[in-house]
Structure formats: C-alpha cells, structure tokens
Chain A
C-alpha cells in the first residue's frame, strides 16, 4: 500500500463519517452520537492506562460531575449554555486537580481503589443529595442548546457534527500528546517511576497533569452526554459505567487510545444491536470479552499491530524516520 491509497482510505472514512446523517438511518445516527461520547470516556481512560499505566475507575464520575453541573444550573435556571458548560468544565478541573493531588501519590491497585472510591462518592452524592440532584429520579428536561441544533441541508443533525468535530479534535490532541516529550515522560513513569525520580523528573507533577487532562476529556464527554440525553440520572455514573469503560478499554487494547475507541464502539454497538434480539445481550458481550482476554491479551489493537504493515505505519508515526 502506498501513500496515495492510504489517503484514499482516509478520505473514504472521513466522507462516510460526514455523510452518516444522510446515508444512514436516524437510528444509526443516534447510535453514532452515543458511541462518540462514550468513546471520549474511552479516550480519557486509555490515555491514563496506556501512558502512565494507571487504571482509573473515576472516568464516569467526571462525566457525571460535568453533566450534573449543567443539569443543576439549567433546571434551576441559574445559567445556560455556553456558561453552564464552562462552569461544568471548571468544576471538573477543580475536582480533578484537588483529587489528583492525593491520587498521584499512589499507583497500581491503590490508584484503582482511590479512583473507585471517588467514583462511588460522586455517585452516592448524586443519589442521596436529593434536594440538589433530585436523587434516584434524576434531573430531567435539559434541552439541547440552539448552538448544537443547526440544520444541515434541511435536516436537524447539527449535534452529530458538533460532537464529531469535537471528538476528532480531542483524539488528535491526545494522540499528539502521547508522542510529545510530555508523553514520553509519562511512559517513563509507567516503566520505572524510581528511575524517573532519580533522573530529576517531578514525577508526581507529571502524573497530576495527566490526571487532569484525562478528567477534562471525560468532563467534555459529560457536556455532550447531558445535552444529548436531556436527563441526568445516578445510574449514568454507577459502578456499571466504570466497568463498561474498563471492559471497552481491555477489548480494544489497553495500550492504545485508538484501540479503546474501537473497543468502546464495538461494545456500544453490540449493546444496542443485540438488545433488539435478546435481553441477555450481556452474556454475549461477556463471552466475547472472555475470548479477547484469552486469545488477544493486547486487545483488538494488538491483533491489528500483528500485521507488519500496520505496525510499520505506527512506528513511522510514533518514532519518526528510522534513522533519526
């Protein structure tokens, strides 16, 4: 495959994504939006997992934080878009900055436990602080802002394009980070924290920045989530959601951000498609997950990288010229 055919493939994919609202059904477009905001969570998760090797179970919690901030502000008519969305991002940045100070002192299983606790605290607050969050009933009636609802060729598909554009931008930025000097330092921490300290790196500061970046991405996912669904409910941020992000990450390959997006797309699509046939769709997803863990421990992306051409593409992108 040469340079030209590569660009042809890229163009076809781009054109397809742009044309989705017109060539596919409304059902499919809706599913795509769902896949895109869940994939943002997968990006947030995979960024930490692949770069520093930290598994965070608090990703949905940050989606919830930003979603609930918008829901509370708008249902009480305190603030509206875009100020409510900005407020949501500020809240996410603040909470992740404070929590990051504690979390980045831990690693491995302790980090997982700390983020689990954070996730559960935010879930519990959402469930039980009924006077603010409306408890288990959730907050309803958040309407999509006009800015995300413009018409394209007479069809009301603006939301799809806004989220698609944001998604591409974020994935590009995160991928650029992973191959920057900063990303290299994070990988150094993943491989040997003690050596990084001995080399003079401010390891906890680097981990903190990475944690905040990851939370920010999850927070942006929350903005789209709440405006799309129109409802903010505690079940959106419960333990199941954390597990779903984790499963999608492992499905696609924990060491790859693209892999996590792939994994999340498959899990979400399967859930929607299988749900139409059987209520026991989780069993099927479970069996598939089992097969992946046994036969492709590095996930789907691991399978793809076994292909020499794909591997060389990745090496070229990530490491530059061979002789550099």
Chain B
C-alpha cells in the first residue's frame, strides 16, 4: 500500500507523457522529424494534421511498437525509450487502433477478459492452468462493467467477426479501457462511424477526457477542438503549431495546409 501511495504521488508530480526530439525514418522518408510533446498529468491533447502527417507513426513510437531512430520517450518520468511495449503498458499506457485490432474469432466477453491483464488482475499460479477461464469471478464481473461502459452488455456472447463496424469500434475502445489505464492514445476513434454512433462515441470520449489523460488523433475539427485546450498540428512529420484551439485557428501555416487539402 505504501508503495502504491508513493507511485501515486510520483505520478502527480511528473508530466504523464514526454516525447523528446523523436525522429523516425522509413527508408529515405522521414516519417517523424524532431517532434517534441509534453502532456501534463490531468490534461489531454488532440493531434490533428492531414493524412500521412505521421500521427499514427508517432503513436507507434510512443507505445514502442516501432523503435525510435532518435529521441526519447518518458512515461511518468521513467525513461521507456529502450523498454518493451509491455513495460509501457504496465505504467498505464493504452491505445486504440485506427483499424480495429481485435480478437476476431473470440466473443466480446473473451476479448474483454483478455484485455483485463493490465495491472494485477491475476497472480501467476500453476493451478490456474487447469481452472476454466470463466470461473475467474473477479475478472468476469469486471468484464460486465467494461461492457456496460461501451454499451456492449447485450453482445457479450457474440463473436467479434459478427459485430457491426460501429460495435467493433466500441469494443476497440472497451479493450483499451479494460486495464484501467491512465493514459489513452486514441487513433481516430470515430473513423467510419454513422452519425448516431458518433454521438455516442463523442459523449463517451468527452466523459473519459475528464477522468483520464487522453492523446487523440481526430479529423473532426469541431469535436477535436471542443475536447481540450491543447492542440498539436502535425504536418509532414513535424510539429507546425501547438496551442489553444483559437491560436490554431488563427495560425497561418495551419490555414494554408487545410486550404490546400480542401481544394484538392
């Protein structure tokens, strides 16, 4: 318990996520060029930028799914640049994928059960090898909680491959939320959703933004700018603007990029 309190204190003092001078090239193309980013505890940030700006690549660098060429990543002050994805997950980092990355031949319940690994939901034990997974009461009750939070409580026994696209996006979010993370990276959570599904998703993310630290990639400008006061604009792998929604709207470079995008 003492240990827990100490970590909580530590978490409150340090910035949640720091990216320092990150760079990444694929072949000759510089996907990310000297990007720095700081997210303080209790604040969220939205990242916008045209297609191919390197937003998703930056996410992969933060989670560690792609190694950095240069630069460093800190989570709550711990240098995780060389650490495995699993360690970053343990520190409370979670993400959603732009293209749903789910366990397709398993049911919703099983998907969420797997997502609960997070922090200490189960102690490793030889005998647990022979106990059916659904007899783990602690986890199965939490599965219901998470399912309700993403409005999938009636689909628990449905195979993921039989869910609609919108439901799969909800599950995508549910899996990211299940381990009770501190920092969530949203990679276009509303891609391909119908208007009614968007309403639900917007509400959910807005509520989450008050509880968790969110870094979101979002193309819906109005929604993105209503979510938080910290906005980063990425273009061709570099940060071209950083500030409040108003500042971003006034920024000449940003206007230029989006105008060009619109006329094309």
- Is there an interface contact between A182 and B129, defined as CB atoms closer than 8 Å? yes
B74 vs chain A, min Cβ distance (A): 18
Distance to closest chain A CB from B153 (angstroms): 12
In the complex the two chains form, is B90's CB within 8 Å of A200's CB? yes
Once A192-B101, A194-B65, A200-B117 are accepted as A-B contacts, the answer to whether A180 and B129 lie under 8 Å apart by CB is yes
Q: Mark A284-324, 1 if CB is under 8 A from B, else 0.
A: 00000000000000000000000000000000000110101
Q: How many residues of A contact B (CB 8 A)?
A: 28
Report B30 CB to chain A, min CB distance, Å.
24
Stretch at the interface among A161-169, A183-191, A272-280: A183-191
The verdict on B114 contacting chain A, using a C-beta distance below 8 Å, is yes
User: Of the candidates A181, A190, A201, which one forms a contact with B128 in the assembled complex, judged by CB atoms under 8 Å apart?
Assistant: A181
Identify the stretch in A4-12, A108-116, A171-179 within 8 Å (CB) of chain B at 4 or more residues. Answer: A171-179
Q: CB of A196 within 8 A of chain B?
A: yes
Q: Do residues A176 and B86 form an inter-chain contact, with CB atoms below 8 A?
A: no
Query: Which one of B86, B114, B140 lies within 8 Å of A324 (CB-CB)?
Result: B140
Q: Give the dominant DSSP class at A's interface.
A: helix
- In the complex, A240 Cα to B249 Cα: how many Å? 69
0 or 1 for each of B122-134: is its CB under 8 Å from A? (1 = yes): 1000001111111
Q: Is there contact, CB below 8 Å, between B103 and A195?
A: yes
What B residues does A124 contact at CB under 8 A?
none
* Chain A residues, Cβ within 8 Å of B89: 198-200
Q: Contact between A199 and B106 (Cβ–Cβ < 8 Å)?
A: no
Q: Are A180 and B86 in contact (CB under 8 A)?
A: no
| Residues of A close to B129: CB separation below 8 A | 176-177, 180, 182
Instruction: Count residues of B near A (Cβ-Cβ below 8 Å).
Output: 36
Q: Tell me the A85-136 residues at the B interface (CB within 8 Å).
A: none
> Is B128 a contact of A322 with CB atoms below 8 Å?
no
Verify B135–A173 contact, CB threshold 8 A. no
CB distance from A208 to the nearest CB of B (A): 14
Q: What's the minimum C-beta distance from B184 to chain A, rounded to whole angstroms?
A: 12
- The 15 sampled A-B contact pairs (Cβ below 8 Å) are A180-B130, A180-B131, A180-B132, A184-B113, A187-B103, A188-B114, A191-B103, A191-B105, A198-B89, A198-B95, A199-B175, A200-B85, A200-B90, A201-B117, A324-B134
Known: A176-B129, A190-B105, A199-B179. 18 other contacts (CB 8 A): A179-B132, A180-B128, A180-B129, A187-B106, A191-B102, A191-B105, A192-B103, A192-B104, A195-B101, A195-B102, A195-B175, A198-B85, A199-B175, A200-B90, A200-B118, A320-B134, A322-B157, A324-B140
A residues neighboring B (CB under 8 Å): 173, 176-177, 179-185, 187-188, 190-192, 194-202, 319-320, 322, 324
Which 10 A-B residue pairings sit nearest by Cβ, starting from the closest? A200-B89, A191-B103, A320-B134, A188-B114, A176-B130, A184-B133, A181-B133, A195-B101, A200-B86, A197-B85
